[in-house]
Amino acid sequence: MNLASVTHDLAFMTPELVIAVGAMLLVLMGAFVSKSAYRAITYLSVVVLLVAGFLGVQHAPDNAQVLFNGSYVVDAFGGFAKLIIALTAACAILLSADYLAERNLEKPEYPVLALLAVLGMYVMVSAHDLLAVYMGVELQSLALYVLAAYARDDRKSSEAGLKYFVLGALSSGILLYGVSLIYGFTGTINFGKLMTIAKDTSNVGLIFGMVFVLSGIAFKMSVAPFHMWTPDVYEGAPTPSTAFFATAPKMAAAILLGRFLFEAFGEVVSQWRDVVSIMAVLSMFVGAIFALQQTNMKRLLAYSSILNMGYAMVAIAAGPVYGPSALLLFTAIYAITSVGMFGVLLSMRDAKGKEITKISGYSGLSKQRPLLSLALTIMFFSITGIPPLLGFFGKFQIFIAAVDGGVMPLALILVIASVISAFYYLRVLKVVWFDEPSVEIVGGLATTKVTVTGVTLMIALLTPFIGLIYTASMAAGHFFK
Amino acid sequence: MNVTVETLALIVVFAPVIGAIIAGLFGRVLPAKVSMTVTTGLLMVAAASAITIFIGYWDKSLVLPDEPIRIFKWIDVAGFTSTWSIRLDAISVVMMAVVTSVSSMVHLYSWGYMSDDPFKPRFFAYLSLFTFAMLSLVTAADFMQLFFGWEGVGLASYLLIGFYFLKRSANDAQIKAFVVNRVGDFGFVLGIMSVYFVFGTIEFKDVFHAIPHHIHDTMGWGKLQLPAMEVIALLLFIGAMGKSAQFLLHTWLPDAMEGPTPVSALIHAATMVTAGVVLVTLCSPIFQVAPFASGVVTLIGAITAIFAATIGIAQNDIKRVIAYSTCSQLGYMFFAAGIGVYQAAMFHLFTHAFFKAMLFLGAGSVIHGLHHEQDMRKMGGVWKPMKITYAIMLIGTLAITGVGIPGTNFGFAGFFSKDAIIESAFAASSEGLPFATFAFWMGILAAFLTSFYSWRLAFMTFTGTFRGDAHGGHHDDDAHAHAVHAAHVEGHHDAHQEDGVAPAHESPLVMLVPLFILAFGAIFAGFIFNDAFVGEGAHDFWGHAIYVSPENHILHARHNVPEWVKFMPLTVTLLGLLGAMIVYLWNKGLGEKIAKATGPIHAFLYNKWYFDELYDAVFVKGARALGDFFWKVGDQKLIDGIINGIASDTNIISKKSVKVQSGYVYHYAFIMLIALVAFGALVLLKKG
């Protein structure tokens, strides 16, 4: 591999380079400029992400570019995901600014770590061999562990970070073990080569390794039964970190799993469909049923994200023909809606500026903050999947994919899970609109407000343009056909 | 010339709907007089056009187009098309003339009758809407448009029966009319579907042309195969029974009298209720090849004729007497159609429209004059203040009882048409048609009863001394529910005469003029059109509109019936008159005595053969019990039980399963590893 080809390949990685270089510059800025640079670094990291997102779209190649001897791929499928990841991560960083400042946690590390996590996600999304997968996953995870434990004086935050780290390390081990099994039995870690080898279904070691890798990624996606960490970490971590966990990494992991199964094992769907289907059903069950008992908004949203990752698994189970577009569209809409929901959560502060996480604290919100209530309502309706809001289209697309892809039972379970989950979403709305106010609620801080408004408008106003998003995701998903 | 016919036909059909739209949508903002003038004026124009077509067709100065006028394609899906059209043939021309002339008279009459009502625009809008629906019914070129008109008149009827919407009984009556008609309509819809099923089209022309190829078709399920023509004819007749209030589906018509009297005259006497007769006549090609169904039509018609007449003699409400009379006369029309003399059925429909509308409007005049009193027991001696109305009612009575001199061309309208039917029934019975003999004797008997109850009505209302409350009518039972009316009544208590004379006043000219015009029809319609409808000119006049099979010669055979048959109707009519004179003119109080003496029989007739009670017990209570069952057991216990059960089970499962989430890392890690092993085992097992 000569220098020329390296430069050629690097040219396709401009967005990744922007993030990497941006993160390093901001570290330096944090180290040498005083603490007061926190805000500047935060906003600059947002700018970096927006630039990366923009460049990703701008420089999207017409055809898939396989780089670095087949270990990295830049294509429309990943490009679409990267744009959404950058956008939602930027929102999450914006959400953190005032929150952390109010709690004396305004350290430059936070946005920098978030940037590095996003870099990891970019690698995950574009990974085309198992080492790139591992590298992306670890880069993302290590940054996220720190973000979970970021409020280190807070017992719960530390606990969350530790739990996340221990279990994450276990899952990384499983993933890595799977990688080594695959390499041991096939002699390659490249997706493209695996595709031809996997056609020989008698290779037990390869399939076994595939299950391990699948399980490892499923942990990152927080798909049942590898979801156990999710509610605890979501609850314990500082809320902006949770907002971050629930959005971009979920999308990145889902896209990674999709690419891994569709590309490396796309010819042998029957080998993994059962496992994916079981995970989908379990996730939908856990996400729908467990959430009914929750009294804490953060835990509720944790189950909500488990549920939605269950839906994403249905899209994957639909196979490489029907799955990709649905997976892209759905996870994108999910990530956008999720970051909005956390924005609302962060706007819930009582008179002392303490955040309100109990659902009962939301009672009578509509009488105190009608606009915020409206925003929450739009987002909850969207994620429940009520037309004509965005969420409906994502879910609908998965439903269609499941029916076309021949996994009708999953489509039925998806509907049932949606019905059950509608109950807990609507219960919150009932508390918001029909109960009497209990505590005085002060609105969110500036950056939160901006984010919530932006996301709400996006959900509400993008609805007429669903066709655009739809076309984009369809085009991106066609890559696998 | 054709252009003119088509233009005129368009005016006839669409003038009323324009009026209905203007009065219906803008009635609240426009002065009431504007709505009234527009609707009435447009109806007059329509009537003038329709009569021009009718007279032109009758004296052969005008040729009707063979093809229906196609206005627009209404439904066009996968081999099923329906075009909005105006079909012009003898039937539609006759019906257009009848509908628009009666309707325009009723519009005019309503100026007087409804003068105190605060909702005049709504009333006139409904009337015009009804007229439009009726016209689209009679001019339909396929079953779909026919059905539209059918339901349209049903809707207008529903709205107008419940026009006094504050009155509970009016609301009940309108719902009853609607529900009973649903029963008939269900049959009708099935009939239309069967037509489509058998013929693959619903266009009248195509269907009737194709009948020879389908005479022996059968339809049914598996082994149960029935002759298709009989099935279609029977189903269509069930529809006709509902709309025309025939025996078993008649219960709604008397209750429909809750509507304002002009409505009763227009819808529930002259036009809508005859739609069934029009349907059977229009479908004569089908009925002619369906002898069994025709026999059923004869039987039901004959039963209705006699059944309604028996009830009519025992009723005390002036409008109900006329309502049962209508029911009975419709029975005549149906058994005429059943034995195959559709021409006579249409003729009776035509003459009946005039004299029955007139009788209703005359009764309305009395009711109006007596401040909305409808009970004949509280009338009497009304002739003195209401001489014109009295004369009109006498003409109507002479017309309905069919007075005339057999063998000559002298007689009132009913004489020609009713005698044509009765003579035909005799001729049909000598040809051995099913139920024809029965129909003949029932027709004779009903003629006697018709005469009796019609004269009873005339005598009880107009002669003798006033028996009512001298202080005006009873506003709480049958009066306008609209409170405004009370004020009107108080204002008119100007002239209280001596005892025994009704405190009535003659109706205003605007109500009398329509009566004069209708009276003209009641006297002369039979005489003038006898030849064209059922005489020598009948074949030319009806042309292709009515089909009679080549073996059917009844219309001619009726001229050869024995002399006694020709004199029979007049004889029984005079006997009926005599009977009524004995009971109600010469012997005061004899009526009550007879009623007492015949206790149970009178009660049976007075209570309308207890049909309402029977239906209430079987259908209303039955439906309610069924509804209760589905509600309390099916819905509340079963469905709600399942759903609430699932919900609470979900909650229980949720409560239990949440405990898995213990918070201990080693629990979580354990579950992860177990899952990993399980998945690994799964893929290995699958490999076998």
State the count of interchain CB pairs (< 8 A) between A and B: 76
Q: Report the SS3 class of residue A34.
A: coil
Q: B670 CB near a chain A CB, below 8 Å?
A: no
Helix/strand/coil (H, E, C) string of B609-622? HHHHHHHHHHHHHH
pLDDT at site B486:
39
pLDDT at site A274:
92
Helix/strand/coil (H, E, C) string of B426-491? HHHHHCCCCCHHHHHHHHHHHHHHHHHHHHHHHHHHHCCCCCCCCCCCCCCCCCCCCCHHHHHHHH
pLDDT exceeds cutoff 80 at B492: no
How far apart are the CA of B672 and the nearest CA of chain A, in angstroms?
A: 6
pLDDT at site B481:
45
**Residue percentage of chain A with pLDDT more than 70:** 95
Q: What is chain A's length?
A: 481
DSSP label at residue A62: S
Q: Give the residue-averaged pLDDT of A329-355.
A: 88
How far apart are the CA of B677 and the nearest CA of chain A, in angstroms?
A: 9
What amino acid occupies position A451?
A: T
What would the pLDDT profile of A382-398 be if each residue is shown by its tens digit? Answer: 999 988 888 898 999 99
Q: Report the SS3 class of residue B577.
A: helix
pLDDT exceeds cutoff 60 at A376: yes
**Residue percentage of chain B with pLDDT more than 70:** 94
Average pLDDT, chain A: 89
pLDDT at site A480:
54
How far apart are the CA of B644 and the nearest CA of chain A, in angstroms?
A: 13
**Which residues from A are below 8 Å from B655, CB to CB?**
293
Asked if B166 and B481 count as a contact pair (C-beta separation under 8 A), the reply is yes
Q: Which of B653, B663, B683 sits opposite A289 (nearest CB)?
A: B653
Other Cβ atoms less than 10 A from the Cβ of B52: the count is 17
Q: B665 CB near a chain A CB, below 8 Å?
A: yes
Q: Give the residue-averaged pLDDT of B253-281.
A: 92
What would the pLDDT profile of A242-260 be if each residue is shown by its tens digit? Answer: 999 999 999 999 999 999 9
Q: B659 CB near a chain A CB, below 8 Å?
A: no
Contacts 24+ apart (CB under 8 A), B24-31: B24/B121, B24/B122, B24/B125, B24/B126, B24/B128, B24/B129, B27/B121, B27/B122, B27/B124, B27/B125, B28/B121, B30/B121
Q: A215 CB near a chain B CB, below 8 Å?
A: yes
Q: Could you give the CA distance from residue B305 to residue B329 in angstroms, rounded to a whole number?
A: 6
Using CA atoms, how far residue B170 sits from B159, B264, B266, B274, B374, in Å, is 10, 13, 17, 22, 15
Q: Could you give the CA distance from residue A74 to residue B418 in angstroms, rounded to a whole number?
A: 94
Closest CA to B195 of B110, B279, B297: B279
What would the pLDDT profile of B339-374 be if each residue is shown by its tens digit? Answer: 999 999 999 999 999 999 999 999 999 998 888 888
- Partner-chain contact B675 A275, CB within 8 Å: no
Q: Could you give the CA distance from residue B351 to residue A201 in angstroms, rounded to a whole number?
A: 91
What would the pLDDT profile of A135-174 be if each residue is shown by its tens digit? Answer: 999 999 999 999 999 998 889 999 999 999 999 999 999 9
What does pTM read for this prediction?
0.67
Asked if A295 and A235 count as a contact pair (C-beta separation under 8 A), the reply is no
Other Cβ atoms less than 10 A from the Cβ of B371: the count is 24
The phi, psi pair for A423, rounded to 5°, reads: -60, -50
Q: Report the SS3 class of residue B72.
A: strand
**Which residues from B are below 8 Å from A228, CB to CB?**
661, 667-668, 671-672
B569 prior amide bond cis, ω within 30: no
Average pLDDT, chain B: 88
**Which residues from B are below 8 Å from A170, CB to CB?**
669, 672
Q: Report the SS3 class of residue A392.
A: helix
Token pair of A78 as six digits: 């990943």
Closest CA to B375 of B453, B285, B479, B290: B479
Q: Report the SS3 class of residue B375.
A: strand
pLDDT at site A131:
94
What would the pLDDT profile of A359-368 be if each residue is shown by its tens digit? Answer: 998 998 888 8
pLDDT at site B497:
44
pLDDT at site A481:
43
How far apart are the CA of B236 and the nearest CA of chain A, in angstroms?
A: 45
Token pair of A242 as six digits: 């949770």
B434 prior amide bond cis, ω within 30: no
Q: Give the residue-averaged pLDDT of A317-338.
A: 91
The partner residues of B227 in beta bridges, in order of sequence, read: B218
pLDDT at site A448:
78
Q: Could you give the CA distance from residue A387 to residue A240 in angstroms, rounded to a whole number?
A: 29
Asked if B453 and B309 count as a contact pair (C-beta separation under 8 A), the reply is yes
Q: Biggest alpha carbon distance in chain A?
A: 70
Other Cβ atoms less than 10 A from the Cβ of B55: the count is 13
Q: Report the SS3 class of residue A237.
A: coil
pLDDT at site A467:
66
A168: Cα within 13 Å, side-chain hemisphere? 22
DSSP string, A205-267: HHHHHHHHHHHHHHHHHT-TTS-THHHHHHHHS-HHHHHHHHTHHHHHHHHHHHHIIIIISTT
Band (A35; pLDDT cuts 50, 70, 90): low
Q: A267 CB near a chain B CB, below 8 Å?
A: no
pLDDT exceeds cutoff 90 at B184: yes
Q: Could you give the CA distance from residue A295 to residue B120 in angstroms, rounded to a whole number?
A: 62
What would the pLDDT profile of A66-111 be if each residue is shown by its tens digit? Answer: 888 889 998 888 888 999 999 999 999 988 888 888 888 888 889 9
Helix axes B436-462, B291-312, angle to 10 degrees: 20
Q: Could you give the CA distance from residue A393 to residue A333 in angstroms, rounded to a whole number?
A: 9
What amino acid occupies position B170?
A: A
Q: Could you give the CA distance from residue A437 to residue A365 in angstroms, rounded to a whole number?
A: 6
State ipTM: 0.90
pLDDT exceeds cutoff 50 at B494: no
More confident residue, B421 or B487: B421
In angstroms and rounded to an integer, the radius of gyration of the C-alpha atoms of chain A is 21
- Partner-chain contact A228 B653, CB within 8 Å: no
Helix (H) or strand (E) holding B220: strand B218-221
What would the pLDDT profile of B535-558 be if each residue is shown by its tens digit? Answer: 888 888 998 889 988 888 888 888
- Partner-chain contact A166 B657, CB within 8 Å: no
**Residue percentage of chain B with pLDDT more than 90:** 59
What would the pLDDT profile of B64-95 be if each residue is shown by its tens digit? Answer: 888 899 999 998 888 888 999 999 999 999 99
Angle of CA points A293, B663, A439, to nearest 5°: 50
pLDDT at site A288:
92
**Which residues from A are below 8 Å from B682, CB to CB?**
274-275, 278
What would the pLDDT profile of B279-312 be if each residue is shown by its tens digit? Answer: 999 999 999 999 999 999 999 999 999 999 999 9
DSSP label at residue B167: -
Closest CA to A235 of A137, A112, A359, A140: A359
pLDDT exceeds cutoff 50 at B498: no
**Which residues from A are below 8 Å from B663, CB to CB?**
232
Give the nearest chain A residue to B655 (CA atoms): A293
Q: Biggest alpha carbon distance in chain B?
A: 115
Asked if A370 and A451 count as a contact pair (C-beta separation under 8 A), the reply is no
Asked if B257 and B168 count as a contact pair (C-beta separation under 8 A), the reply is no
pLDDT at site B97:
94
Q: Which residues fall within 8 angstroms of residue B674, CB to CB, at 6 or more apart?
A: A225
Which of A409-413, A445-449, B669-673 shows the lowest mean pLDDT across its residues? Answer: A445-449
Q: Could you give the CA distance from residue A190 to residue B681 in angstroms, rounded to a whole number?
A: 25
pLDDT at site A461:
67
Which of A427-441, B244-258, B486-500, B592-606 shows the lowest mean pLDDT across its residues? Answer: B486-500
Interface of B with A in 593-652 (CB under 8 A): 650-651
Interface of B with A in 325-344 (CB under 8 A): none
Helix (H) or strand (E) holding A450: helix A446-462
Q: B656 CB near a chain A CB, below 8 Å?
A: no
pLDDT at site B63:
87
**Which residues from B are below 8 Å from A214, CB to CB?**
679
The phi, psi pair for B220, rounded to 5°, reads: 160, -160
Helix (H) or strand (E) holding A301: helix A297-317
In angstroms and rounded to an integer, the radius of gyration of the C-alpha atoms of chain B is 30
